[in-house]
Chains A and B, each alone.
Chain A
């Protein structure tokens, strides 16, 4: 997982990491200013490390690196989106550490959260990009319309232009939410704006996809913690998602899995099975094909996740989840009306079968008729 060996050795030897030195403007300082004790700081990184499948020995290492990290400059671009991703992160709960860490980064540009507006806001973005050229993190939520650049603009700049411009000087890009990772809802059939993901436009920068509609807040902070600790992105899967969080399917980690194995399913939302908390596969749960950490990290301060609340997983962290053939249709069901197809085909085929059979009979009859009987007498003649 850790490719940057020199940096890792430096961290393990407790030398001062190359990036970030203790003092003014560090993350540790910002957190302490906000009344976060060292104990809760360590506790947070213990859970982050365990979620990211890092060995326990790494906990103090991560905490130290995070404490000493200089607040990284983050530029957040919002394109075709609903602000749900920002809501998820900022309103996760009143004062979680995720929030404080999120506050503690130097968020230099974010439509919804920044005080500045108009030209001043754009000036702040440009200044941050210039000052931290090659080092800032670019966070993107929302898809990019390619059908017509005028579909979505910010300060008169089209989304695609702004993304290209901002990506140029970014150290890495974090695509947040299913819209920026895979096109999301704007990309849903028939995709009227020609919406595409960040990865379809930017090819020369490391991109980390954090899909979900919205994504889990701790996944974002976990990725940030990893980046600040090791100076590189965590290990990603084939869809560019951090394996630590998206390595297992919802189904594999679902607490209702034993019911699936026993063949006990809720048939409707209010039957005995539903009341007893049986598996929601028959109600259309996409848990078996969805990779995310909902079943383990859960939502609302670890309270629950959709399946725990009695609703099947929609598969929101997978590409094209909106066009997956209906949220309430079980995964093993066809998406088209196969019964109708089969009946029509059978009717047509029966007619064709009769015709072919009749032809065969006619052929047989004709050959019987054409058959000339020859007797030995005939041959002797």
Chain B
């Protein structure tokens, strides 16, 4: 297989297989979660579930003071890499082009050097959270294989994308193929790991807020 063949496979059949696994996995899991239902609450409602639920989806984005004091590093580095990932995935011109091809519309891109700088910050933040995870005794005790796997498979597209952009080590077709394949691998494991939090986060926050809202307390 030549490198161009590999690239063609990654852009074609490879991407198709990854899309099928990703979409099917995510949709089935979400249906399962939603259809679990909740037990009927027999207590009298003291407030609105909906407004408290919706508010909590947003409000939980800001960490409370105690949590921040306890694990400030995790939160700051976590913010850096999450925002970084957002910028890289959604504001880099070739990525927007890819999204536009699938959903039919796009939006303006950030200048390439800005995304490049963001990528460096994101990679550093990812390294910081890993170092923190491994150096903190409690965190290390709580770490399982899945945590390391998802870290690695999130890091891989970042590093391979950075290498492809700067032409490091291999030729451009090989680097681009490896980058696309690394994204496909991420898509494939996505529904089966904690990466699902990108979707479930909203339900979870809503439920938390809704429970408090029903009881008439602040969430």
Contact = CB atoms under 8 A, between A and B. Distances in A.
A172 B23 CA distance: 53
B94 A332 contact: yes
Contacts of A346: 23-24, 27
Contact of B19 (A323, A342, A348): A342
A260 B110 CA distance: 11
A289 B176 contact: yes
Contacts of B93: 260, 263, 265, 281
A369 interface: no
B31 A354 contact: yes
B112 interface: yes
A345 B20 contact: yes
Contact of A324 (B8, B36, B95): B8
A345 B15 CA distance: 13
Contact of A249 (B4, B104, B172): B172
10 contacts: A263-B110, A289-B172, A325-B8, A332-B94, A334-B16, A335-B12, A336-B15, A338-B16, A350-B31, A357-B34
Interface in A211-232: none
Interface in A234-288: 237-238, 249, 251-252, 260-263, 265, 281-282, 288
Interface of A: 182, 237-238, 249, 251-252, 260-263, 265, 281-282, 288-291, 318-321, 323-325, 330-336, 338-339, 341-342, 345-346, 348-350, 352-354, 356-358, 360-361
Contacts of A350: 27, 31
A263 B19 CA distance: 27
B2 A261 contact: no
Interface residues of B, number: 47
A201 B15 CA distance: 34
A341 B16 contact: yes
B44 interface: no
Contacts of B20: 341, 345
B2 A331 contact: no
Nearest to A287: B172
A249 B167 contact: yes
B108 A263 contact: yes
Contacts of B23: 341-342, 345-346, 349
B101 A356 contact: no
A315 B191 CA distance: 37
